[in-house]
A = this chain, B = another copy of it.
């Protein structure tokens, strides 16, 4: 009884933190979608206050005391229970949060916002020097942050923030395996004749693209009573509660694939959170468990489902009715080839399914080198360019298209934010393979525009659990296998090269 009281006290305290964090998310969504330009000063002030209060409330020593008192209760509850998972999750984050001095937190926040401003300018003006001092400061702060914890590798505490259960060593091993198999395969694929994707590069009016995308994700099962779709420069998924999981997308009037696959990608993220068990709503267990697993869902829907032949057998005729002038002369096979065209390129977010991972692994290596002290910030552009030449055969014409292209290092700590993209690709295939094993008719269902069973499988085996288990745990539970690159490589080899 005493324990139940303590547990209920803990959930009361934590729910305040969750509600404040959700409120911050609403403010961020608004900032990225509809806020008038001169609202940013006030918005910064409001977000800073909410962030400060949430941090204060979360690191309140009362929470620490309750967690101590609840140790036996946690051990006596089944590992899979809501209570045990809740305490386990909160304890882990609490223990990390209290180790970081709040002074360091404010320094990090201040530098991040300055660094972001400087990055915008540096990228616009193709002038790395403008952001270099802020990036140096960020590297210093990232190291300071990591040094608040014990670790085997300095990147471990940073990686743990996004992909709990992973270490630098584990990811390096995995990426080495992947590189060994993927690089020769990419080269082989690139030797095939280049695919003509000009059918995607005709004029596609924005409003029609928007209408089609809305219809498309509704057919996939996205419920607009529990979400919305808006337009932003960088697409994202964001959620405020079980009943409010929103996505954004972006359009290019002269490139149809942009909005199509951004939209399906973000819908995949949204499905994950919409599929959380409702009992997790408003608790810290709500959401996706890690970057990698979250990305596995966006990539599963975007690539494995959304760029499959079966998928377009169903949707292509519908797409043609929206764009008869552009597509009636284009066969399904031509369209399918175009959306799966492989070619080396400069920009990660535009890369195809195969070369994408090379972009990610370059960044992962470079950030490790910076954190280890083996690469100075001032030498980053050169190191970047030489990797793009050796790994992707590309000459980087400017830093704006090179090491300044991604925002991550300039608006968050260095370390932890990139590996998830490739972990996600690897995991996406492992999840899909297991789903297919459970339902051999899966691709037939997709061909007929039925996604119900796939979603049910994912809900049962992954989505419902929210953050109850870490990424590796939930993958093992869902697929009966430890993480391996085999399903991913076998998926790719079955699909490519497209002839």
Contacts and interface: CB of A to CB of B under 8 A. Distances in A.
Interface of A: 15-16, 19-20, 22-24, 26-27, 29-30, 34-43, 45-46, 48-50, 53, 223-228, 240-244, 246, 281-282
A435 to B, nearest CB: 27
Given A240-B42, A244-B38, A53 B16 contact: yes
A244 B41 CA distance: 9
Given A19-B50, A49-B16, A42 B226 contact: no
21 contacts: A16-B49, A19-B45, A19-B48, A20-B46, A23-B27, A26-B27, A35-B244, A37-B225, A38-B225, A39-B226, A39-B240, A39-B241, A39-B243, A39-B244, A40-B243, A42-B240, A42-B241, A42-B244, A43-B241, A45-B241, A53-B53
A40 B244 CA distance: 8
Question: How many monomers of this protein are in the complex?
Answer: 2
Contacts of A45: 15, 19, 22, 241, 282
Contact of A281 (B27, B42, B43, B226): B42
Contacts of A241: 39, 41-43, 45-46
Contacts of A244: 35-36, 38-39, 42-43
Contacts of A281: 41-42
Contacts of A226: 36, 38-39
Contact of A20 (B38, B49, B223, B243): B49
A408 to B, nearest CB: 26
A329 to B, nearest CB: 33
Q: Which 9 A-B pairs have the closest CB atoms?
A: A42-B241, A39-B244, A38-B243, A19-B49, A19-B46, A38-B226, A39-B243, A23-B46, A38-B225
Contacts of A23: 23-24, 27, 46, 49-50
A227 B36 CA distance: 5
Given A36-B243, A39-B240, 4 more contacts: A23-B27, A23-B46, A38-B243, A42-B244
A30 to B, nearest CB: 6
Given A224-B36, A226-B36, A226-B38, A240 B26 contact: no
Contacts of A30: 26, 29-30
Contacts of A29: 30
Among A24, A46, A224, chain B packs the most CB atoms within 10 A around the CB of: A46
Nearest to A19: B49
Nearest to A31: B26
Contacts of A22: 42, 45-46
A240 B282 contact: no
Nearest to A40: B243
A27 B29 CA distance: 11
Contacts of A50: 19-20, 23
Contacts of A24: 23
A110 to B, nearest CB: 17
Contacts of A46: 19-20, 22-23, 26, 240-241
A320 B16 CA distance: 54
A391 to B, nearest CB: 43
A35 B228 CA distance: 8
A42 B243 contact: yes
Among A35, A41, A45, A227, chain B packs the most CB atoms within 10 A around the CB of: A45
